[in-house]
Amino acid sequence: MTKIIIALVFIAGVTLIWRLTPSEQSLSEADLSLLINPDSTKQNGEMMEEKVIRTEEEWKKILTPEEYYVLRQKGTERASTGKYDKHFKKGVYKCAACDNVLFESDTKYDSGCGWPSFFTPLAKDRVIYEEDRSYGMVRTEVMCAKCGGHLGHVFDDGPEPTGLRYCMNSVSLKFEKKEE
């Protein structure tokens, strides 16, 4: 009897420790590639074009000061101020710096977080990820795979089917309407 009680107390202890372990951690690239809709690679047919490499001086000339701050200096637009936060027209969202097609309107949803949110990029090869430990947090930064521009972050509190929330800056995106 005593052995059973000890075993039960042990199981309860392990469960408690497991529950108290913080789950807030950045997503690994492997996690993300498993979670992202595998069919998304078929959409829009064409593969991503080759990378865009420019000097910071060149980017400064091409981008507006606001775009330069977000895309090249990893800035963040103020919550609920971006032009695409509550924008739900049908079309695609391109990178504002290099025109890489990043997201489709079908995968956009209202997360209420104050920034345009998507549950998957158009295809796996459109974005790249990096661990971001700034501001005392551990987050997963999302960048454009073609030009390296900063887009935002991805979190694991999104809706089905991926469970991911790509929390993007409107400034980093350029919407292109799709004719219905």
Q: Residue 125 and residue 164: Cα distance in Å, rounded?
A: 17
Two structure tokens written together for 99? 């025109």
User: Could you tell me how many residues of this chain bind Fe ion (CB under 5 A)?
Assistant: 8
Beta carbon nearer to Fe ion, 139 or 146? 146
Beta carbon nearer to Fe ion, 3 or 61? 61
Rounded to a whole number of angstroms, the minimum distance from the CB of residue 143 to Fe ion is 8
Q: Residue 45 and residue 123: Cα distance in Å, rounded?
A: 10
Question: Which x/- pattern over 80-99 shows residues binding Fe ion (rule: CB under 5 A)?
Answer: ---------------x-xx-
Question: Which x/- pattern over 128-157 shows residues binding Fe ion (rule: CB under 5 A)?
Answer: ----------------x-xx-x--------
Say whether 39 sits in a helix, a strand or coil: helix
- Helix-strand-coil percent breakdown of the chain, rounded to 5? 30, 20, 45
The β-bridge partners of 153 are: 141, 167
Rounded to a whole number of angstroms, the minimum distance from the CB of residue 106 to Fe ion is 21
Per the document, the length of the chain is 180
Of the residues 95, 98, 144, 167, only one is catalytic, namely 167
For the question of residue 113 being annotated catalytic, the response is no
Beta carbon nearer to Fe ion, 74 or 156? 74
Beta carbon nearer to Fe ion, 146 or 165? 146
Stated as kind and residue range, the H or E segment containing 140 is strand 139-144
Buried/exposed 100-119: b ≥16 CB within 10 Å, e otherwise: bbbbbbebbeebeeebbbbb
Residue type, 6: I
Rounded to a whole number of angstroms, the minimum distance from the CB of residue 71 to Fe ion is 8
Rounded to a whole number of angstroms, the minimum distance from the CB of residue 100 to Fe ion is 5
Q: Identify the residue among 26, 40, 100, 172 touching Fe ion (CB under 5 A).
A: 100
Positions annotated as catalytic residues are 167
Binding site for Fe ion (CB under 5 A): 95, 97-98, 100, 144, 146-147, 149
